[in-house]
Chains A and B, each alone.
Chain A
Amino acid sequence: MSSKWEDLQKRSFLESKARSRAIGLVDQGTFTELAGPRHRVSSPHLPLLGEAVEFDDGIVTGVGLIGEKPVFVASQEGSFIGGAVGEVHGAKLVNIVRMARKAYDEMLTANPDLAEEKRPAVVISFETGGVRLHEANAGLLAHAELMDQFQDCKGKVPIVGLIGSRVGCFGGMGFVAAAADVIIMSQFGRLGLTGPEVIEEELGKDEFDASDRALVYRTTGGRHKYIMGDCNVLVADSIAAFREALKDILVKPYGEIAAMSCIGSLEKVQYQLQLVELCVETAPKDARDVWKTAGNDNPEELTDMPLDEFLKTVKRLTDSCLGG
């Protein structure tokens, strides 16, 4: 068991299954899976449509520790129907967030002076395209429940999202991720609302070619989202790197973590509206145009340089780019 956890640390986050990510992100030997495969809770809807099921419905949920902090973990598995959210998958995700907030309420009622390092946190490793079509209506309703639970966590439980898996984080889960307090990505992570194929369908192949991987990455990938400020921390592609970044975040006071979020208050919406204005003024044809606006004189070079060099060199979009 111990060697296994240590082996996990070195592994590529991109190549890791949901369960490995969940186990490896928290301290060694502390992860307890909740509603795991032994309970055989699978989709009741897929068999009616002649589809195979998984006994975890494509998501691993559980609790672990980072130091003394209880960490409620959800980790989506992209190899099962693209990590899509159905009734059971959605309920597990919704409830893990709710459990963290309820634990917080109970702990703080019993002891209002409870040290911050012992208060619960939520960590979600996203790998999903959003709603599962086979049970679309239930999946949709689960997204609304998730946003509701996220709001319940405000002022109490920090939510950290990790994006660095094959499928990325798209569809409705794209805005769920935006509602997290902190987003940690690798350069292989992708985050957005509308998947590339749908944009191509909408705008035509000349405007957006979904098969152009470089284009897709620079529009939705970790490096771009880091420049935009939508990704707070950009890390190397290993479970250890994600875990270290997560630990660095979770030792901060709650207020500092909450301040890192992109949205969730009038002031943050007003700042985002300044960015929208910038979009209108500069009418970027490509993400690289925005990188240039942010002060990167040679945006082409940003794509391929090694990560540490990128992090040292890159200029991010900040208030100073907004012309006053």
Chain B
Amino acid sequence: MEDLIGQGRAAIDMIVDPQSFLEGEVGELLLTDEDFGASAVIGTARLDGEVCTIIANDAMTANPKFPVVYAGIIGLEEGYKMALAVYHSIKADQDKLPAEKRSIVLIVDTPGNGAGKQEEIFGMNKSTGAYQLALAEARKAGHPIVAIVVGRAISGGFLCHGLQADHVLSLGTKFNTMIHVMPITSISRITRLDIEWLQELAESNPVFAAGPDYFYKLGGVEELIDNIEAMRERIVAHVAEVRAKKTAGRDDELGPWGRGSLSLARGSRTERDRVIRIMNNEFAEVAEKYLS
């Protein structure tokens, strides 16, 4: 297999225990309408014997009700459907100890969110926001969340589905994976800067360039995986690592905030760290005036 672009469902089968995936079911949630949020796949499976929730894109199935939702785009229904899967994971495990909460695996192959008139009239921003808040809530409740980019992780689509995970993994560029806000050609067009010069600049500063390697340098991706057969085993390992950190109370090393520290460790986003320290120090001097 050369790559997994558009193959969200195949990726599920490669990751979970054989024949364990139950589509449309998470805890009390049971979705039976095939057309509902058709471009997103949710369900329950076993991962190395343990119950886990799977949330993936299905680039092969368009949503018949929303013409802008195809090729793995996350539309109004898809965002809320994905949020339902997360909230029902939380609900199903609400009485369990944090260490026993099911993991959630996000299989990412999306070009973005639905861009249409009806989407804006009804508020696509709420749909993608709802899913992200649900993931953040689940993460903080103890569910280990691991995202794996198997195809495209583009801009707002990646924020929606991927970047709220505890750990983000990506197949390497040899599998044609794409992570970016905009391809460098578009950045060149909009900023009117020479594309070759931009590409050269990207080698020393990963802050605008497209590709998993740059996101890795920037601390936006925890691990690049260069062997497709190792994908399952690496996800299992990351779930265990995340769970161990949560149990040890090291939540600050996980999720978006943890990736802030990771970027510093990898020598990038250093101004982020500096400005945060300036603000904290400056506030400490005046805090008395504001806080009771």
Footprint of B on A, CB under 8 Å? Answer: 32, 34-35, 39, 41, 43-45, 48-51, 61, 63-65, 68, 70, 87-88, 90-92, 94-96, 99, 103, 106-107, 111, 114, 118, 120, 130-131, 133-145, 147-152, 154, 171-172, 174-179, 191-194, 198-199, 202-203, 207-208, 219-220, 224-225, 228, 230, 262-266, 268-269, 272-273, 275-276, 279-280, 283-287, 290
A191 to B160, CA, bound (A): 18
A177 to B88, CA, bound (A): 25
Interface size on B, residues (CB 8 A): 83
Which of B126, B133, B163, B182 sits near A150, CB closer than 8 Å? B133
Which of A64, A87, A107, A268 sits near B292, CB closer than 8 Å? A107
Contact between A87 and B207 (Cβ–Cβ < 8 Å)?
A: yes
Contact between A137 and B125 (Cβ–Cβ < 8 Å)?
A: no
A207 to B67, CA, bound (A): 12
Contact between A35 and B256 (Cβ–Cβ < 8 Å)?
A: no
User: In the complex, how many angstroms separate the beta carbon of B120 from the nearest chain A beta carbon?
Assistant: 5
User: In the complex, how many angstroms separate the beta carbon of B135 from the nearest chain A beta carbon?
Assistant: 9
Footprint of A on B, CB under 8 Å? Answer: 65, 68, 76-77, 80, 83-84, 87-88, 91, 113, 115-130, 132-134, 136-137, 140, 155-156, 158-160, 163-164, 180-182, 187, 190-191, 193, 201, 205-209, 214-215, 218-220, 255-257, 259-260, 263, 269-276, 278-280, 282-283, 286-287, 289-292
Contact between A171 and B137 (Cβ–Cβ < 8 Å)?
A: no
Question: Given contacts A35-B278, A133-B190, A136-B187, is CB(A199)–CB(B84) below 8 Å?
Answer: no
User: In the complex, how many angstroms separate the beta carbon of A50 from the nearest chain B beta carbon?
Assistant: 7
- CB-CB nearest 3 A-B residue pairs: A151-B136, A175-B129, A136-B181
Question: Given contacts A95-B279, A135-B207, A139-B181, is CB(A269)–CB(B291) below 8 Å?
Answer: no
- The A interface, classified by DSSP as helix, strand, loop or mixed, is helix
- Can you sample 29 A-B contacts with CB below 8 Å? A35-B275, A35-B279, A41-B274, A64-B290, A70-B290, A103-B287, A120-B291, A133-B190, A134-B187, A134-B191, A136-B180, A137-B215, A140-B158, A140-B181, A141-B163, A144-B259, A147-B132, A179-B132, A192-B123, A193-B128, A194-B116, A208-B117, A263-B126, A263-B129, A269-B83, A269-B87, A269-B134, A283-B118, A287-B121
Residues of A within 8 A of B87 (CB): 265-266, 269
Residue among B88, B124, B209, B275 with max Cβ neighbours from chain A (10 Å):
B275
A147 to B160, CA, bound (A): 10
A70 to B263, CA, bound (A): 32
Q: Which residue of B lies closest to A148 (CB)?
A: B256
A175 to B164, CA, bound (A): 14
User: In the complex, how many angstroms separate the beta carbon of A125 from the nearest chain B beta carbon?
Assistant: 17
Contact between B126 and A262 (Cβ–Cβ < 8 Å)?
A: yes
Contact between A103 and B291 (Cβ–Cβ < 8 Å)?
A: yes
Which of A61, A88, A275 sits near B122, CB closer than 8 Å? A275
Question: Given contacts A41-B271, A150-B133, is CB(A144)–CB(B159) below 8 Å?
Answer: yes
Q: Which residue of B lies closest to A70 (CB)?
A: B290
Which of A48, A147, A266 sits near B205, CB closer than 8 Å? A48
Which of A49, A172, A177, A199 sits near B156, CB closer than 8 Å? A172
Given A145-B257, A148-B256, A194-B113, 20 extra CB contacts under 8 A: A32-B290, A41-B278, A50-B193, A70-B290, A94-B276, A99-B279, A107-B292, A120-B291, A139-B181, A141-B220, A141-B259, A141-B260, A145-B260, A172-B156, A175-B160, A178-B126, A203-B117, A220-B120, A272-B127, A283-B118
